[in-house]
Chains A and B, each alone.
Chain A
Amino acid sequence: MKLRFVTLLLGAFVFLFPFYYMLIGSLQAEPDPSVGGAFPRPDNLTGRNYAEIDAAINLGRTLINSGVFTGGVLLGTLVGGVLAGYALARLRFRGRGAVFNLMLLVQVVPFQLLTIPLYVLIVRNYGLADSYLGMILPFAINSTAVFVFRQYFLLLPAELFDAARVDGASELRILWSVAIPLVKPALLTGVLLTFIGPWNEFLWPFLITKQQDLQPLAVALSNYLTTVSARAANPFGAVLAGACVLAAPAVGLFIIFQRQFISQSIESGVKG
Chain B
Amino acid sequence: MTVTDRPTIRDAPDHRVPARRGRPGRVNGRQPIGALLVTPYLVFLLVVFAYPLCYAVYISFHDYFFAAPGAVVDRPFVGLQNYRTVLADPAVRRSFVNVGIFLVINVPLTAVLSLTLAGALNKAVRWRTFFRVSYYVPYVTASVAVVGVWLFLFNSDGLVNSILGPLAPDPSWLVSSALAMPTVAVYVTWKQLGFFILLYLAALQNLSKDLYEAAAMDGAGRFASFWNVTVPGVRPATTLVVLLATVTGANLFTEPYLLTGGGGPDGASASPVLIMYQRGIEQGSPDIGAAIGILLVIGVLLLALVERRLVGRDD
Real binding pair: yes
Most buried by B among A21, A93, A250, A263: A93
Most buried by B among A8, A80, A221: A8
Chain B residues 266 to 304 lying within 8 A of chain A, measured CB to CB, are 273, 276-277, 280-281, 286, 289-290, 293-294, 296-297, 300
Q: Assess whether A251 is in contact with B137, with CB atoms less than 8 Å apart.
A: yes
Task: Type the 1/0 row for B199-219, where 1 means its CB is closer than 8 Å to any CB of A.
Answer: 101110000000000000000
By a CB distance below 8 angstroms, the chain A residues around B131 are 8, 11-12
User: Taking the nearest CB of chain A, how far is it from the CB of B142, in angstroms?
Assistant: 4
A255 to B134, CA, bound (A): 9
User: Taking the nearest CB of chain A, how far is it from the CB of B65, in angstroms?
Assistant: 10
- Decide yes or no whether A240 CB sits under 8 A from chain B: yes
- Decide yes or no whether B2 CB sits under 8 A from chain A: no
Chain A residues 16 to 55 lying within 8 A of chain B, measured CB to CB, are 16, 18-19, 21-22, 25, 31, 33-35, 37-38
A to B CB contacts below 8 Å, 29 in the list:
A5-B120, A8-B124, A8-B127, A8-B131, A34-B162, A87-B35, A92-B19, A93-B34, A94-B35, A95-B38, A99-B42, A102-B45, A109-B53, A112-B250, A112-B251, A116-B289, A117-B52, A119-B281, A121-B55, A124-B69, A137-B48, A200-B140, A200-B142, A203-B253, A266-B199, A267-B8, A267-B9, A269-B199, A270-B237
A90 to B142, CA, bound (A): 36
User: Taking the nearest CB of chain B, how far is it from the CB of A199, in angstroms?
Assistant: 7
- Decide yes or no whether B88 CB sits under 8 A from chain A: no
Chain B residues 118 to 174 lying within 8 A of chain A, measured CB to CB, are 120-121, 123-124, 126-127, 129-138, 140-153, 155, 157-159, 162-163
With A22-B146, A247-B146 as known contacts, state yes or no: A258 contacts B33, CB within 8 Å.
no
By a CB distance below 8 angstroms, the chain B residues around A240 are 148-149, 152
Interface SS of chain B: helix, strand, loop or mixed? helix
Q: Which 4 A-B pairs have the closest CB atoms?
A: A91-B34, A93-B34, A84-B41, A200-B142
User: Taking the nearest CB of chain A, how far is it from the CB of B49, in angstroms?
Assistant: 5
- Categorize the interface residue count of chain B: 35 or more
A65 to B290, CA, bound (A): 29
By a CB distance below 8 angstroms, the chain B residues around A255 are 133
Q: Assess whether B10 is in contact with A267, with CB atoms less than 8 Å apart.
A: yes
A18 to B137, CA, bound (A): 11
Q: Assess whether A155 is in contact with B152, with CB atoms less than 8 Å apart.
A: no
With A33-B152, A84-B40, A109-B297 as known contacts, state yes or no: A251 contacts B202, CB within 8 Å.
no
With A84-B41, A250-B142 as known contacts, state yes or no: A11 contacts B150, CB within 8 Å.
no
Task: Type the 1/0 row for B234-261, where 1 means its CB is closer than 8 Å to any CB of A.
Answer: 0001001000000100110110011001
CB-CB nearest in chain B for A195: B140
Q: Assess whether A90 is in contact with B17, with CB atoms less than 8 Å apart.
A: yes
Interface residues of B (CB under 8 A from A): 6, 8-10, 12, 14-19, 25, 27-35, 37-38, 40-42, 44-45, 47-53, 55-56, 59, 64, 66-67, 69, 116-117, 120-121, 123-124, 126-127, 129-138, 140-153, 155, 157-159, 162-163, 190, 193-195, 198-199, 201-203, 237, 240, 247, 250-251, 253-254, 257-258, 261-262, 273, 276-277, 280-281, 286, 289-290, 293-294, 296-297, 300
A81 to B42, CA, bound (A): 10
Interface residues of A (CB under 8 A from B): 4-5, 7-8, 11-12, 14-16, 18-19, 21-22, 25, 31, 33-35, 37-38, 76, 79-81, 83-84, 86-96, 99, 102-103, 106, 108-121, 124-125, 127, 137-138, 140-141, 143, 146, 151, 154-158, 171-172, 175, 196, 199-200, 202-203, 207, 218, 221-222, 225-226, 236, 239-240, 242-244, 246-247, 250-251, 254-255, 258, 261-264, 266-271
Contact of A93 among B18, B35, B202, B289 (CB under 8 A): B35
Q: Assess whether B140 is in contact with A196, with CB atoms less than 8 Å apart.
A: yes
A15 to B187, CA, bound (A): 11
Q: Assess whether A7 is in contact with B120, with CB atoms less than 8 Å apart.
A: yes
A202 to B67, CA, bound (A): 26
Q: Assess whether A225 is in contact with B27, with CB atoms less than 8 Å apart.
A: no
User: Taking the nearest CB of chain B, how far is it from the CB of A23, in angstroms?
Assistant: 10
Q: Assess whether B53 is in contact with A117, with CB atoms less than 8 Å apart.
A: yes
CB-CB nearest in chain A for B18: A158
